[in-house]
Amino acid sequence: MPNSFGHLFRITTWGESHGPGIGAVIDGCPPLLPITAEEIQAELDRRRPGQSDITTPRKEADTVEILSGVYEGKTTGTPIGLFVRNTDQRSSAYSEMKQAFRPSHADFTYQSKFGVRDPNGGGRSSARETIGRVAAGAFAKKILALAYGVEIRAFVSSIHRLRMPAMEDFPTLAQVEATAVRCPDPKTAEAMIEVIKKARSEGDSVGGIIECRIRNVPVGLGEPVFDRLEADLAKAMLSLPATKGFEIGSGFGGTLLKGSEHNDLFENREGQVRTVTNRSGGVQGGISNGEEIRFNVAFKPTATILQPQQTVDLQGQPTELMGKGRHDPCVVPRAVVIVEAMAALVLLDHAMRQTAQNRAFEFPQK
Amino acid sequence: MPNSFGHLFRITTWGESHGPGIGAVIDGCPPLLPITAEEIQAELDRRRPGQSDITTPRKEADTVEILSGVYEGKTTGTPIGLFVRNTDQRSSAYSEMKQAFRPSHADFTYQSKFGVRDPNGGGRSSARETIGRVAAGAFAKKILALAYGVEIRAFVSSIHRLRMPAMEDFPTLAQVEATAVRCPDPKTAEAMIEVIKKARSEGDSVGGIIECRIRNVPVGLGEPVFDRLEADLAKAMLSLPATKGFEIGSGFGGTLLKGSEHNDLFENREGQVRTVTNRSGGVQGGISNGEEIRFNVAFKPTATILQPQQTVDLQGQPTELMGKGRHDPCVVPRAVVIVEAMAALVLLDHAMRQTAQNRAFEFPQK
Amino acid sequence: MPNSFGHLFRITTWGESHGPGIGAVIDGCPPLLPITAEEIQAELDRRRPGQSDITTPRKEADTVEILSGVYEGKTTGTPIGLFVRNTDQRSSAYSEMKQAFRPSHADFTYQSKFGVRDPNGGGRSSARETIGRVAAGAFAKKILALAYGVEIRAFVSSIHRLRMPAMEDFPTLAQVEATAVRCPDPKTAEAMIEVIKKARSEGDSVGGIIECRIRNVPVGLGEPVFDRLEADLAKAMLSLPATKGFEIGSGFGGTLLKGSEHNDLFENREGQVRTVTNRSGGVQGGISNGEEIRFNVAFKPTATILQPQQTVDLQGQPTELMGKGRHDPCVVPRAVVIVEAMAALVLLDHAMRQTAQNRAFEFPQK
Amino acid sequence: MPNSFGHLFRITTWGESHGPGIGAVIDGCPPLLPITAEEIQAELDRRRPGQSDITTPRKEADTVEILSGVYEGKTTGTPIGLFVRNTDQRSSAYSEMKQAFRPSHADFTYQSKFGVRDPNGGGRSSARETIGRVAAGAFAKKILALAYGVEIRAFVSSIHRLRMPAMEDFPTLAQVEATAVRCPDPKTAEAMIEVIKKARSEGDSVGGIIECRIRNVPVGLGEPVFDRLEADLAKAMLSLPATKGFEIGSGFGGTLLKGSEHNDLFENREGQVRTVTNRSGGVQGGISNGEEIRFNVAFKPTATILQPQQTVDLQGQPTELMGKGRHDPCVVPRAVVIVEAMAALVLLDHAMRQTAQNRAFEFPQK
- Round to whole Å and give the CA distance between A346 and A340: 10
Chains that touch B (3 or more CB pairs under 8 A): A, C, D
| Cβ atoms of residues C133 and C13 within 8 Å | yes
Q: What is the pLDDT of residue C358?
A: 93
10 Å CB burial of residue B46 (0-12, 13-18, 19+) is buried
Q: What count of other Cβ atoms lies within 10 Å of the Cβ of residue B51?
A: 16
Distance of CA C77 to the CA centre of its chain: 25
Interchain proximity C12–A19, CB inside 8 Å: no
Residue in chain C lying closest to A78 (CA): C124
> What is the distance in angstroms between the Cα of B358 and the nearest Cα belonging to chain D?
20
> What is the distance in angstroms between the Cα of D239 and the nearest Cα belonging to chain B?
16
SS3 content of chain B, % helix, strand, coil (to 5): 35, 25, 40
**End-to-end Cα separation, chain B, in angstroms:** 44
Chains that touch C (3 or more CB pairs under 8 A): A, B, D
| Cβ atoms of residues B243 and B299 within 8 Å | yes
Residue in chain C lying closest to B360 (CA): C355
Cα Rg for chain D, rounded, in angstroms?
Answer: 21
Q: Supply the pTM of this predicted model.
A: 0.98
Interchain proximity B114–D25, CB inside 8 Å: no
> What is the distance in angstroms between the Cα of C217 and the nearest Cα belonging to chain D?
13
Distance of CA C194 to the CA centre of its chain: 24
Q: Which of C76, C78, C82 to mutate to test the interface with A (most CBs of A within 10 A)?
A: C78
> What is the distance in angstroms between the Cα of B358 and the nearest Cα belonging to chain C?
6
Q: In this predicted model, what pLDDT tens digit does every residue of A301-318 receive, in sequence order? A: 999 999 999 999 999 999
D→A contacts (Cβ < 8 Å), by residue, are 7-8, 28-34, 74, 77, 143, 146-147, 351-353, 355-361, 363-366
> Strands A293-299 and A208-215: what pairing?
antiparallel
Interchain proximity C254–D298, CB inside 8 Å: yes
| Cβ atoms of residues D104 and D299 within 8 Å | no
- Does residue A62 lie within any of the structural domains? yes
Q: What count of other Cβ atoms lies within 10 Å of the Cβ of residue B315?
A: 9
How many separate domains does chain B show?
1
- Does residue D212 lie within any of the structural domains? yes
C→B contacts (Cβ < 8 Å), by residue, are 7-8, 28-34, 74, 77-78, 143, 146-147, 224, 351-353, 355-361, 363-366
The stretches of chain B forming alpha helices (DSSP H) are 37-47, 107-114, 130-148, 173-177, 186-201, 229-238, 259-262, 332-354
CATH number of the structural domain spanning residue D150: 3.60.150.10
Q: In this predicted model, what pLDDT tens digit does every residue of B255-313 receive, in sequence order? A: 999 999 999 999 999 999 999 999 999 999 999 999 999 999 999 999 999 999 999 99
Give just the sign of the alpha carbon dihedral A25, A26, A32, A34: negative
State the greatest distance between any 2 C-alpha atoms of chain B, in Å, as a whole number: 76
Hey, is B3 helix, strand or coil? coil
B–D: how many Cβ contacts below 8 A?
A: 149
- Does residue C194 lie within any of the structural domains? yes
pLDDT at B91 over 80: no
Strand locations in chain A (E): 4-5, 10-15, 21-27, 64-68, 70-71, 74-75, 80-85, 151-159, 162-163, 208-215, 243-248, 266-269, 272-275, 283-284, 287-288, 293-299, 308-312, 318-322
- Does residue D123 lie within any of the structural domains? yes
Residues 6 or more apart from B302 whose CB is under 8 A from it?
A259, B205, B206, B207, B242, B327, B328, B329, B330, B331
What range does the domain containing D156 cover?
Answer: 4-358
Q: What is the mean pLDDT of chain A?
A: 95
In this complex, the residue of D248, D304, D318 whose CB is nearest that of residue C244 is: D248
10 Å CB burial of residue D38 (0-12, 13-18, 19+) is exposed
Chains that touch D (3 or more CB pairs under 8 A): A, B, C
Region of poorest pLDDT, from A85-89, A358-362, B242-246, C210-214: A85-89
Q: Which of C186, C170, C196 is closest to C299 using CA atoms?
A: C196
Q: In this predicted model, what pLDDT tens digit does every residue of A204-220 receive, in sequence order? A: 999 999 999 999 999 99
- Round to whole Å and give the CA distance between D193 and D179: 9
- Does residue D208 lie within any of the structural domains? yes
Q: What count of other Cβ atoms lies within 10 Å of the Cβ of residue A167?
A: 15
pLDDT at D325 over 80: no
Hey, is A174 helix, strand or coil? helix
Q: In this predicted model, what pLDDT tens digit does every residue of D9-27 receive, in sequence order? A: 999 999 999 999 999 999 9
Q: Which of B280, B291, B293, B335 is closest to B157 using CA atoms?
A: B335
Percent of chain D with pLDDT over 90: 87
For residue C356, the chain B residues in CB contact (below 8 A) are 8, 28, 352-353, 355-356, 360
For residue A77, the chain D residues in CB contact (below 8 A) are 357-358
- Does residue A166 lie within any of the structural domains? yes
Q: Which of D173, D51, D103 is closest to D320 using CA atoms?
A: D103
Cα distances (Å, whole numbers) of residue D273 to A236, C124, D269, D320: 44, 22, 6, 61
Q: What is the pLDDT of residue B1?
A: 87
pLDDT at A94 over 70: no
pLDDT at C365 over 90: no
For residue B251, the chain A residues in CB contact (below 8 A) are 244-245, 298
Quickly state the pLDDT bin for B145 (edges 50, 70, 90): very high
Q: In this predicted model, what pLDDT tens digit does every residue of B26-43 receive, in sequence order? A: 999 999 999 999 999 999
- Helices C37-47 and C130-148: angle between axes, nearest 10 degrees: 120
- Does residue A84 lie within any of the structural domains? yes
Q: Which of D123, B193, A140 is closest to C224 using CA atoms?
A: D123
> What is the distance in angstroms between the Cα of A273 and the nearest Cα belonging to chain D?
21
Dihedral through CA D1, CA D3, CA D7, CA D8, nearest 10? -130
- Does residue A362 lie within any of the structural domains? no
Interchain proximity C363–B8, CB inside 8 Å: no
Q: In this predicted model, what pLDDT tens digit does every residue of D251-302 receive, in sequence order? A: 999 999 999 999 999 999 999 999 999 999 999 999 999 999 999 999 999 9
Q: Which of C135, C112, C136, C139 is closest to C125 using CA atoms?
A: C112
Interchain proximity C357–B33, CB inside 8 Å: no
For residue C143, the chain B residues in CB contact (below 8 A) are 361, 363
Q: Give me the phi and psi of C235, to 5 degrees please.
A: -60, -45
Arithmetic mean of pLDDT, B323-340: 91
For residue B364, the chain C residues in CB contact (below 8 A) are 34, 146
> Strands A243-248 and A293-299: what pairing?
antiparallel
Q: What is the mean pLDDT of chain C?
A: 95
In this complex, the residue of D227, D249, D284 whose CB is nearest that of residue C2 is: D227
A→C contacts (Cβ < 8 Å), by residue, are 1-4, 7-8, 10, 12-16, 19-21, 23, 25, 27-28, 31-32, 65, 67-69, 71, 74, 76-81, 113-118, 123-124
Q: Which of D107, D312, B76 is closest to C284 using CA atoms?
A: D107
Task: Note whether ipTM > 0.90 here.
Answer: yes
Hey, is A236 helix, strand or coil? helix
Cα distances (Å, whole numbers) of residue B165 to A37, B215, B330, D272: 54, 20, 21, 75
